[in-house]
Structure 1
Amino acid sequence: MAGHWLLARLGKRVLRPGGRELTERMLDAAMITDSDIVELAPGLGRTAQEIIRRGPRSYRGIDTDPAAVEHTNRRLGGAGTVTQADAANTGLPDASADIVFGEAMLTMQSDRAKLEMMTEAFRILKPGGRYVIHELGLTPDGLDDATKQEIQRALAKSIKVNARPLTSEEWRALLTRAGFTVREDTRFAPMRLLQPRRIIADEGISGALRFARNLMSMPEERSRVLGMRRTFHEHQKALTAVGIVAEKPR
């Protein structure tokens, strides 16, 4: 089981590298009110609910996982719609969205697939529209290739997904290749997904206690989560969360 679904099974609801705090900062930067929003890979629908609370004109989610589609549609209760499709081929009309929002989904793709998804976001945005991402990053810019490869191998071993985080400079360069103009105000947050303080901040006291109880009662799953936490801690100086706003030129 991929690490993010394992954590969800154990009761972890916020699965973003920069936690709820960076998500809120990126939602503020997106300027959602009265806009047509597309969210790529909404997963469990936590961010989708936050988007709906901010009063968009419309909300549509795109996810490849039928269980996630069903879960999030149920969670939204008709306030928005999630459909099953690929983020690189959404099936949505050209220039139909004011904002495309995506979190922790590009990281899991190869650079070629990242670019394909960014290009699709560019296609469905209206001129002047905003593409807002919150992803796992590497720091500093100019990090050597050997260290990058070591981190990729460690992440793949612990979370069972071939995660390929990029430096801020590399994220921005890829967005530029897709046709976007990238704003200068890149946002960062520590990557502390499994640190107790972050878990409490993201899940609240009751959610953190639920997560802890489930960990204690499931030894096999606990072993995997502790392995993930060790990996994150071992590479904490090089891992970060990055939030970027890119615009489609008018």
Structure 2
Amino acid sequence: MAKTRDLDPDGEESARPGRLYVIPLVFTTVSLLALVAVPVIVNRMVAADQSYLEQSLEPALDQIAEIRYLQARQFASVQGFVLTRNPAHREQYRRFDDRLSHLRDSLRLTLAGTGTDIGALQSALVPQATVWAYNHLRVLNEEEPLDEDGSQFIVQDRIQYEETDAAVAALETAVRAEIAQVNAQLDGLRSTQVPVTAGLVALSLLATLSVGLIGRRMGGLMREVESRRGEA
């Protein structure tokens, strides 16, 4: 025969009020944890986006601007050499070329953590610039025969310069678009942080109030139990 457990009416009555605390206490605990965790998570997201801007995108814009400037100076130098055959233009071109090589390497490292679209545009710059520079060096080293006034080369070189500059400009546009997107994300995170935190505080206060009200109810029940025991 199965053994039955004797129930203590008073003990059962006392246990029921205690169980009323469980849900509000859990709710309060979760709310307090969220109140601590959410700002930390949001701050980390803001810090990551801010670092992305300051260490990758914004320096890349500066490097791109300098690349475009130096390419324009290269174009002017090689054109000056073709028109005058003055070796000073050749030396000037080589200084610009050395600086450009360094800048392109730096830009590649700066944009290493960006998206595939920017990476593809950046990678496309290298072969195009290499072909353009190769044609220049053949002329500057007098390995490429030119017509008397160099007009054919000048026209062709201008076309190549405009194509090369357009490729860099496309990369600049993509980087600016990425900056705008990251700034929009930062604005969204910052604008939601305050209301979310306020909502969590309100939930915590509500849970605390619920615990207090249940405590009052439990106190009344306990007094009722004690009263019944006294009457018994």
Q: Same fold (TM over 0.5)?
A: no
Higher-strand-fraction structure:
1
| Structure 1 length-normalised TM | 0.21
TM-score normalised by the chain length of structure 2:
0.22
Q: Which has the higher contact order (CA 8 A, sep 6+)?
A: 2
Between structure 1 and structure 2, the one with the greater Rg is 2
The structure with the greater share of residues assigned to helix is 2
